[in-house]
Structure 1
Amino acid sequence: MVKKQLIMENALELFAKQGFESTSVQQITDKCGISKGAFYLSFKSKDELIIALIDQFMIQIVADIDYLVKSAETEQLLYEFYYSIYSSFQKHSDFAKLLIKEQSQLNKELFLKMQYYDKLMENSIISMIERLYGDRVEVIKYDLMYSIKGFMNMYSHLFVFFNILVDVNRLAESLVEKTNILAQHSTITFATNELLNILQPMNEEISEDQIIEMLDQKIEELDESIEKESLTLLKQQLIHPIYTTAIIKGLIENIRHHPQCKWITYSLRRYYRL
């Protein structure tokens, strides 16, 4: 196992038991069987380690939802959205529980990181609402977005805080019905675009140079594979564009399912507006 991943897995186990604040770097290194020097070769601080865990958790969810919203059949989109969200929460319930419990303990940098991912998720939800309901919900789409986020948060507590078996299929079907009722019958508006601009930070665009830097890092990390070859071609495309949109889509599809390429996939799809 790569040392960085070893540290992350053991740290997550300790954080789940003790919380972020009560877990020391020394405890993490003892559990991993490594020196502090080895830890600091991978992470500059405990906060950087926590950010890496948040990235690992949130990148997968945000990237998968973004792809789903843009590519799923409209008839099944809302169901697949809820099913994907709750399947992810169920699969990573330990870290989800930790984030919910520890939010009040996050420093400014960690809080801003969570806020950034929350904004990306809101963008995906708005895109989904526009695909599903079109102009019919233009006036209430932001209220509907907050309602969907409320469903996500409330019902996730069932398997985050209570050790019960949740029928994710039934839950998704139930929330599809509730969301459609709200979309069809809501008339009183509270949340507006102006209010969202006041409450939330501006959406951060990822530059071409940043994408190339990410590609370089992943190309170096990955063994020879179709994913590594596709990353190399995608980097060449950014530097000297020659491929058609269809080829670019195919290359991105080649890397989409690789767990280490989720963020690059998301960034490339945004960059090329796919």
Structure 2
Amino acid sequence: MMKEKEKLIIETGIKLFATKGFTATSIQEIATECSISKGAFYLYFKSKEALLLAIFEYYYSRIQERVKEIDNQPLQPRERFVKQIHCHYDEISKHKEFIIMQVREHAIPFNEAIETFIRNMRVSSNLYYQRILMEIYGDAITPYIWDMTVMLQGIFHSFLELIIFEVTELNLDHLSHYLLKRADDLVKGLTGSDPEKEKPILSTDAMNKLLAEKVLHPQKTKRDLLAAIDDAKERFYDHPKKEDITITLEVLEEEIKREESRAPVIQGMLANFSSFPELTDLKSLIEEFFFAEKK
């Protein structure tokens, strides 16, 4: 069970990241806002990236809890689908400022744990749509179940973008029913066509492969490396050898910012990491970005 202090840090992080952005918000600012010391922050989260992951998990778990509550209600599949779609839109709209800030500054850093979370969230979403569509429409749509899943999610996310960026005022109840009716239209069109002429685009095997492939992961960028270096500086704020490692990190930072980064300089700086096991993940991240193809 989540501790109250941990929840406070997460909710404070959401607020500050939404107003200032992930990169511009320091761990010290989060700690000050929570009325705790910087050391106390590290008792709960080892880095700002770890806090960001915890925010994603906290946020996602809130949605899942509401969805499960609806699952436990004595509802027909169609009614349950409408309520759950409404629930997703409602929860996301409550934190759209946080989402907008992450999108605008491309703040989500490359991190194996965050990648795994995003992949699992996508897989979970696909499996949810597959399950609920089968409950609503039955075996008749089995050949087209993955096509339906992908198309309906596309419609859902298109309207979600409008909600997040406030392009127009949308009635969530009407929108949720509207999505179900569009699903009805898709099913009518697919099941009423000649299966020989209207073969499904996605087979079960193809979709399983797609869900497993790493192409679904966000690609690493120099922005990710710079964010990770910034986080490392925060972690070494009170370290006895802060000055030594800060110089190395700053040289790396400037080199990565160059249009043509010099590999020998980067390799030389990474050699200084050998005395700091806390930087193993950062070293691996930089090596993979610059030298993976040469290995």
Q: What number of residue pairs does the alignment pair up?
A: 202
Identity of aligned residues (%): 23
Given candidates 61, 84, 88, the residue that maps to 1:85 is 88
Query: What SS class does the counterpart of residue 29 from structure 1 fall into?
Result: helix
Partner of 2:40: 38
Contact 2:23 2:107 in 1 (8 A): no
In the TM superposition, what are the counterparts of 1:178-257 in structure 2 within 5 Å? Answer: 178-186=182-190, 187-201=198-212
Partner of 2:20: 18
Unaligned runs of 5+ in 2: 191-197, 214-295
In the TM superposition, what is the alpha-carbon distance from 1:89 to its structure 2 partner?
1.8
Unaligned runs of 5+ in 1: 203-274
Given candidates 140, 163, 175, the residue that maps to 1:159 is 163
1:17-60 superposed Cα distances (whole Å, 9 cap, x missing partner): 23323322122123223211110112121121111111111112
1:172/1:93 CA distance change after superposition, 3 Å: same
In the TM superposition, what is the alpha-carbon distance from 1:67 to its structure 2 partner?
5.4
Contact 1:10 1:28 in 2 (8 A): yes
Partner of 1:59: 61
1:47/1:124 CA distance change after superposition, 3 Å: same
Whole-Å Cα distance in 2 between the matches of residues 61 and 111 of structure 1? 19
Query: What SS class does the counterpart of residue 129 from structure 1 fall into?
Result: helix
In the TM superposition, what is the alpha-carbon distance from 1:92 to its structure 2 partner?
2.9
Query: What SS class does the counterpart of residue 212 from structure 2 fall into?
Result: coil
Runs (4+) of structure 1 exceeding 4 A deviation are 98-104
Whole-Å Cα distance in 2 between the matches of residues 69 and 96 of structure 1? 27
Normalised to the residue count of structure 2, the TM-score between the two structures is 0.61
Report the AA paired with residue 191 of structure 1: L
1:84/1:32 CA distance change after superposition, 3 Å: same
Query: What SS class does the counterpart of residue 23 from structure 1 fall into?
Result: coil
Whole-Å Cα distance in 1 between the matches of residues 135 and 69 of structure 2? 13
Larger Rg: 2
In the TM superposition, what is the alpha-carbon distance from 1:76 to its structure 2 partner?
1.4
Query: What SS class does the counterpart of residue 143 from structure 2 fall into?
Result: coil
